[in-house]
Amino acid sequence: MQGVLTAALAIIMFAVSLGLKPRDFSFIRSHPMSVFIGTITQLIGLPLLTLSLIYIISPNPGIALGMLVVACCPGGNVSNLLTRMSGGDTAYSVALTMVSSVFAAIVLPFAILFWTGLYEPAAALLQDIHIDRPKFIITTSITLIVPLAIGLFLAHRKPPLAQFLSRYLMPLAVLILSSLIIIGTITNKHLIFDYGTETLPIVILHNALAFLLGALTGRFALKDTKKMRALTFEVGIQNTGLGLLIVLSQLGGIGSAAIIVGSWSIWHLLAGFILANVFKLFDTPAQTPQPEKIKH
């Protein structure tokens, strides 16, 4: 079963990398500071915010682990769609998704272990389930980096082939994730009943704070409305499918952690859609110019 989950993780990373276009790198070169600010907000700001929230609410170790896994995941591709819907800077959103995906392939296992190690109950939980840290780092890194490298190569050298593969692999990745969520819900229904009333408010609060972090950083650091909207969705929409597979395949399938990550994967879509429409309410239609009155 673990081998199947690891293969699914590789497929998802490969599908994501096929959608990374070479032209997205040109945006990074022309907007280095805004991309740097957005990337730091994702890679450091969100995990730091999550750790602070964990210390405030003191959830059980499994829930804390799930929250930190979510915070360490890269931005999800849905953020690009929601940015476009809200009238945000789509090119900026795509560039941030690309950068966070590349960084995640390299540093994700290190990030999970680092941030988890800063909350003793979660660190003790990983110790209790005997996580082999070197094996976790090596296995996860290989599973993420190799598909990413192959996907980037094809996207750059063989665009038609990359588009063809993406057309079939992305639906396959969605099917895998949907199946995992359905199977996990049925298998762990007792855990959902036990933890549901506790986890859902945490997911809603955590996600709301993530959106707020992106919005405030965009408002005060970028001072650009379109980029602010893009960063809001980049921080609030995470690739939780990746996180769920890591919990199931590499972190012992801890039930409460999986529930947090799985719940986030559903909730952030609903919250993001609502937020995109709220942003649109602030965009008043351009006033139709009135003909000047002829003075007599």
pLDDT score for 177: 66
pLDDT score for 248: 83
Q: Tell the burial category of 269 from Cβ atoms under 10 Å away from its Cβ (0-12, 13-18, 19+).
A: middle
CB atoms near residue 171 (< 10 Å): 11
What are the tokens at 242? 């990746």
Query: Cα–Cα distance between 66 and 251 in angstroms, integer?
Result: 10
What are the tokens at 111? 């990030």
Low-confidence ranges of the chain (pLDDT < 50): 286-289, 292-296
- Three-class secondary structure of residue 238 per DSSP: strand
CB atoms near residue 110 (< 10 Å): 15
pLDDT score for 289: 47
Q: Are 69 and 251 in contact (CB under 8 A)?
A: yes
Query: Cα–Cα distance between 183 and 126 in angstroms, integer?
Result: 24
CB atoms near residue 282 (< 10 Å): 10
CB atoms near residue 224 (< 10 Å): 16
pLDDT score for 194: 65
The residue written with tokens 């229904």 in the block is 189
The residue written with tokens 């003075």 in the block is 295
pLDDT score for 139: 83
- Which domains, from first to last, does the chain contain? 2-278 (1.20.1530.20)
Q: DSSP readout, 54-110?
A: HHHH---HHHHHHHHHHHHSPBPTHHHHHHHHHT--HHHHHHHHHHHHHHHHHHHHH
Closest among 109, 28, 36 to 69, alpha carbons compared: 109
pLDDT score for 294: 46
DSSP letter assigned to residue 286: P
Q: What is the pTM of this model?
A: 0.85
The torsion angles phi and psi of 82, rounded to 5 degrees, stand at: -65, -35
Query: Cα–Cα distance between 194 and 200 in angstroms, integer?
Result: 12
User: What phi-psi label fits residue 5: left (phi over 0), alpha (psi between -120 and 50 degrees) or beta?
Assistant: alpha
CA quadruple 219, 223, 225, 227: dihedral positive or negative? negative
